Amino acid sequence: MACDPRRALHRYLVLILMCFLSFGSYFVYDNPAALEKQIETDMRVNAANYELLYSLYSWPNVVLCFFGGYLLDTFLGLRFGTIVFALFVLVGQIIFAIGAQLDKYWLMCVGRFVFGIGGESLAVGQNTYAVSWFKGKELNMVFGLQLSFSRVGSTVNINIMGPIYRWLNNYLSGYQCLGATLWFGCAFCILSLFCAVLLAYYDKRANRLLGKDDEKTGEKVSLLDVKDFSLQIWLMFIICVAYYVTVFPFISLGLVFFEERFGLDPAAASAVNSIVYLLSAFMSPIFGILVDKVGRNLYWVILGVVATLGSHMLMAFTFLNPYIAMVTMGLAYSLLACALWPMVAYVIPEHQLGTAYGIMQAIQNLGLAVVAIVAGDIVDSKGYLFLEVFFGGCLSIALIAAVALYLVDAARGGTLNYSAKKRNMLAEAENL
């Protein structure tokens, strides 16, 4: 039963592989954060140089995952491409660990860059796999579960890397201890690579058995296709970037805000600040199931944007306990994430999905990188109230895009806001 690709049980087994596919990359992504103090002392670098470990990952990915997605659609193909990107992640982490072992900080930076080439594109591959296996089925839940796994990956990392370092410190010291600790991250990357290979095998097998090998559909994918993308997909990109920049850059500036604005002590402030991450780990799969059962993705997206706007306005204009606002934001973020990403699959043909997800991720990375800098400047010169109002403005753009998407979709007789019932009926009709 589990061997039949049409069966739900088989799908769920494949889903486990999908979740662990990028577990390794999320685990090692936050290695520097978990070991910040150790890296700074063992490698004798200052905070600015330490930041390089993140910026060398994020800035190239403003462009890289766009090409990554395109390569998945064309030369590499989804299966082989995903394996290649998982390899990049592993090799990047190996270089990173060797750099620490040899006491060469520049080599560690090279490792992070190589890791970056694979990391985001691997996530694009993961999204594309999810659509090809779950479209018309539990797609929203799958996106929710993947989001949840990414959170679990970085949380596990934050919590175990420090203790591992301390344990190894009994036998090793300085950069050698750091290097040895980082090798541990490689284990998870190997696990992810293993998942990529298995996924490729099962995907090929399923296509063979079901006789729908999409790689030979003969459709040419060109980068120029981008200009023919429908208005709907561009509106989704706008929602994506305008929404995400109001969550993550805010959290990275949140500690001081909660201390000064609400008079919380540092421990309480950091607890409030981590609510969004914590909630998204638990709630995303649940909301995913909800969206699967009800459908009407656009309403959920609009609700998510409005609730986040409300939460920012609460923190800007009231002294209400910030837990309320941050819980709202955490729920809204989880809801939006699992309702927004699957919509791409309804307006983009499957052979362009990699490109579309690549662009979406690239634009999001660009937005996050730029807004992180802008937000820091706003706080320095205009304060947190203005920052919150700025985020309100971004959310308003997201809301306008979401409302426009609803109107455009309604006017063009689109399918984005179908209820689950209608979607199932259509799917059945198609199968007949």
Binding site for other proteins (CB under 8 A): 256-257, 260-261, 263, 316-319, 379-386, 389-390, 392-393, 395-396, 399-400, 403-404, 407, 410-411
Nearer to other proteins, 385 or 427 (CB): 385
Nearer to other proteins, 281 or 315 (CB): 315
In angstroms, what is the minimal distance from the CB of 77 to other proteins? 40
Nearer to other proteins, 41 or 318 (CB): 318
Cβ atoms < 10 Å from Cβ of 397 = 17
Q: 């919150």: which residue's tokens?
A: 388
In angstroms, what is the minimal distance from the CB of 349 to other proteins? 26
In angstroms, what is the minimal distance from the CB of 328 to other proteins? 18
In angstroms, what is the minimal distance from the CB of 36 to other proteins? 18
Nearer to other proteins, 180 or 316 (CB): 316
- Euclidean distance between the first and the last CA atom of the chain, given in angstroms as a whole number: 23
Nearer to other proteins, 2 or 407 (CB): 407
Nearer to other proteins, 172 or 400 (CB): 400
DSSP state for residue 224 in the 8-state scheme? G
For residues 85 and 123, what is the distance between their CA atoms, to the nearest angstrom? 9
For residues 125 and 22, what is the distance between their CA atoms, to the nearest angstrom? 9
DSSP state for residue 342 in the 8-state scheme? G
Nearer to other proteins, 275 or 398 (CB): 398
CB 403 within 8 A of CB 411: no
Quick one: tokens of 82?
């995903």
Nearer to other proteins, 190 or 400 (CB): 400
- Stated length of the chain: 432
Nearer to other proteins, 7 or 382 (CB): 382
For residues 131 and 11, what is the distance between their CA atoms, to the nearest angstrom? 12
Q: Residue 49: left (phi > 0), alpha (psi -120 to 50), or beta? A: alpha
In angstroms, what is the minimal distance from the CB of 44 to other proteins? 22
Nearer to other proteins, 132 or 270 (CB): 270
Contacts of 242 (CB under 8 A, 6+ apart): 367, 394, 395, 397, 398, 401
For residues 345 and 138, what is the distance between their CA atoms, to the nearest angstrom? 13
In angstroms, what is the minimal distance from the CB of 54 to other proteins? 21
Quick one: tokens of 321?
């306990």
In angstroms, what is the minimal distance from the CB of 383 to other proteins? 4
In angstroms, what is the minimal distance from the CB of 312 to other proteins? 11
Contacts of 391 (CB under 8 A, 6+ apart): 245, 246, 250, 312
For residues 45 and 26, what is the distance between their CA atoms, to the nearest angstrom? 24
In angstroms, what is the minimal distance from the CB of 245 to other proteins? 15
In angstroms, what is the minimal distance from the CB of 424 to other proteins? 24
CB 123 within 8 A of CB 21: no
CB 372 within 8 A of CB 252: yes
Quick one: tokens of 349?
């043909």
For residues 75 and 226, what is the distance between their CA atoms, to the nearest angstrom? 17
CB 141 within 8 A of CB 82: no
